[in-house]
Copies of this chain bind each other. A is one copy, B any other.
């Protein structure tokens, strides 16, 4: 049971980050998943739902609703995929692009403050330790 403090700390870190990030995103009239989608589409060629879901870690059933709301807000559009009629290409509209250009840098600056306390070396070390743990968890999950 010596792993409990670590587990607890992972959960609390994640939630602390969320509690810090979410109000700022809300002040831009977006929800966190909506911002995530806009940020992922920004400065990228249009992509399929599948690809968007893989990058944002949002499952397909959830993604449909998020895209519906962004479409109503006029920020994204669904276009037919020439190469594969099963799928679509999701792209930012001009309005969505403008939102991206305004909100993305602002939010990155907001987040950067939270990480300023760590040295670059600490960030590298922490990242690689978490990665090792994650990969060992993922290995088990596929069994």
Contacts and interface: CB of A to CB of B under 8 A. Distances in A.
Interface of A: 1-3, 5-7, 9-17, 19-20, 57, 108, 111-118, 120, 122-123, 125-127, 129-134, 136-138, 140-141
Assembly of this chain: how many copies? 2
A16 B37 CA distance: 20
A138 B23 CA distance: 13
Contacts of A5: 123, 127
A5 B138 CA distance: 18
B136 A117 contact: yes
A131 B57 contact: no
11 contacts: A3-B111, A6-B126, A7-B17, A10-B130, A11-B57, A12-B134, A14-B14, A16-B141, A113-B140, A118-B136, A126-B129
